[in-house]
Amino acid sequence: MEERTLRLWQGGIETRVEEGGEGPPLVFLHGPWGLSGDRDFLGLLAANHRVHAPWHPGTSPGNPEAIHRLDDWLDLVAYYGELFDRLGVEAPALVGHSFGGMLACEIAAAMPQRVGRLVLIDPLGLWRADRPVRNWMILPETERARALFADPQDAAAARFFALPADPAERVAAQAGFTWAQACTGKFVWPIPDKGLKKRIHRIATPTLILWGEADAIIAPAYARDFADRIAGAQVAMIASAGHLPQVEQSQETARRVRDFLAGGG
Amino acid sequence: MKICMFHLMPYRDLPADFDRRYQSAYLDPVWFDVADPDKVGRYYNWTLDEMAYAARAGMHGLCTNQHHQNVYGFMANPSLLGAALAKMTDGRNVAIVQIGSTLPSTSPPTRIAEEYAMIDCLSGGRLVAGFPTGLPTDATLSNGIVPVEQRERYREALDLVLKAWSAREVFAWNGRHYQLPMVNLWPRPIQQPHPPIWIPGSGSATTVEFAVDRDDCFCHLSYFGAKNAETLGDYYWDTVAKRGRDANPYRLGFLQLIGVAESDAAAEEYAPHVEYFFHKLLYTPQYYQAIPGYQDLPSLKRALAAPLRERLDLRALKYKDFVERGFLIAGSPATVRDQLLAGVKRLRIGHLLALLHFGSMPHELCLKNIDLFCREVLPALAPLWDDEWHDRWWPQRLQGGEA
Cβ-Cβ contacts under 8 Å for A183 (sequence gap 6 or more): A56, A57, A58, A59, A64, A67, B148, B293
User: Given this model, what pLDDT does residue B206 score?
Assistant: 86
- A138–B291: do the CB atoms touch at under 8 Å? yes
User: Given this model, what pLDDT does residue B133 score?
Assistant: 92
Nearest to B222 by CA among B244, B242, B207: B207
If 0-12 CB within 10 Å is exposed, 13-18 middle and 19+ buried, where does residue A207 land? buried
Q: What is the DSSP letter of A259?
A: H
Across chain B, mean pLDDT equals 95
Task: Count the neighbouring beta carbons within 10 Å of the beta carbon of residue B184.
Answer: 11
CA–CA dist A26, B237 (Å, integer): 54
B309 touches chain A (CB under 8 A): no
Nearest to B208 by CA among B252, B248, B247, B146: B252
Comparing CB atoms, the residue among B148, B297, B300 nearest residue A186 is: B148
Comparing CB atoms, the residue among A167, A168, A178 nearest residue B292 is: A178
Comparing CB atoms, the residue among A140, A175, A190 nearest residue B297 is: A175
User: Given this model, what pLDDT does residue B403 score?
Assistant: 40
Q: Count contacts between A and B (CB, < 8 Å).
A: 66
Average pLDDT over residues B289-314: 85
pLDDT tens readout for residues B151-204: 999 999 999 999 999 999 999 999 999 999 999 999 999 999 999 999 999 888
Q: What is the DSSP letter of A122?
A: S
Q: What is the DSSP letter of B374?
A: I
B297 touches chain A (CB under 8 A): yes
A172 touches chain B (CB under 8 A): yes
User: Given this model, what pLDDT does residue B137 score?
Assistant: 94
pLDDT tens readout for residues B41-78: 999 999 999 999 999 999 999 999 999 999 999 999 99
User: Given this model, what pLDDT does residue A263 score?
Assistant: 83
CA–CA dist A220, B293 (Å, integer): 28
Average pLDDT over residues B380-387: 96
User: Given this model, what pLDDT does residue A265 score?
Assistant: 45
Task: Count the neighbouring beta carbons within 10 Å of the beta carbon of residue A155.
Answer: 10
User: Given this model, what pLDDT does residue A102 score?
Assistant: 98
CA–CA dist B72, B281 (Å, integer): 5
pTM score > 0.80 for this model?
Answer: yes
**Contact status, residue A21 vs residue A46, Cβ threshold 8 Å:** yes
CA–CA dist A211, A249 (Å, integer): 11
User: Given this model, what pLDDT does residue B165 score?
Assistant: 98
Buried b (16+ CB within 10 A) or exposed e, B292-304: bbbbbbebbbbbb
Contacts of B300 in chain A (CB under 8 A): 175, 178-179
CA–CA dist A46, A50 (Å, integer): 6
User: Given this model, what pLDDT does residue B271 score?
Assistant: 98
Q: How far away is chain A from the Cα of B177, in angstroms, using its nearest Cα?
A: 10
User: Given this model, what pLDDT does residue B309 score?
Assistant: 62
**Contact status, residue B113 vs residue B165, Cβ threshold 8 Å:** yes
CA–CA dist B193, B163 (Å, integer): 9
- A171–B146: do the CB atoms touch at under 8 Å? no
Contacts of A186 in chain B (CB under 8 A): 146-149, 293
If 0-12 CB within 10 Å is exposed, 13-18 middle and 19+ buried, where does residue B16 land? exposed
User: Given this model, what pLDDT does residue B311 score?
Assistant: 73
φ, ψ of residue A155 to 5 degrees: the values are -60, -30
CA–CA dist B103, A6 (Å, integer): 36
Average pLDDT over residues B310-331: 93
When computed from its CA atoms, the radius of gyration of chain B, rounded to whole angstroms, is 20
**Contact status, residue B257 vs residue B247, Cβ threshold 8 Å:** no
- A171–B304: do the CB atoms touch at under 8 Å? yes
Tens digits of pLDDT across chain A (265 residues): 999 999 999 999 999 999 999 999 999 999 999 999 999 999 999 999 999 999 999 999 999 999 999 999 999 999 999 999 999 999 999 999 999 999 999 999 999 999 999 999 999 999 999 999 999 999 999 999 999 999 999 999 999 999 999 999 999 999 999 999 999 999 999 999 999 999 999 999 999 999 999 999 999 999 999 999 999 999 999 999 999 999 999 999 999 999 999 985 4
A71 touches chain B (CB under 8 A): yes
CA torsion A217→A219→A225→A226, rounded to 10°? 50
Work out the pLDDT band at B402, boundaries 50, 70, 90: very low
CA torsion A109→A114→A119→A123, rounded to 10°? -40
User: Given this model, what pLDDT does residue B308 score?
Assistant: 62
Q: pLDDT exceeding 70 applies to what percent of chain B?
A: 98
CA torsion B146→B152→B154→B155, rounded to 10°? -170
Closest-approach residue (CA) in chain B for A32: B292
Q: How far away is chain B from the Cα of A12, in angstroms, using its nearest Cα?
A: 16
A186 touches chain B (CB under 8 A): yes
- B146–A186: do the CB atoms touch at under 8 Å? yes
User: Given this model, what pLDDT does residue A205 score?
Assistant: 96
**Contact status, residue B365 vs residue B12, Cβ threshold 8 Å:** no
Average pLDDT over residues B282-289: 90
User: Given this model, what pLDDT does residue B265 score?
Assistant: 98
**Is pLDDT at B310 greater than 70 in this prediction?**
no
Q: pLDDT exceeding 90 applies to what percent of chain B?
A: 91
CA torsion A55→A60→A66→A70, rounded to 10°? 10
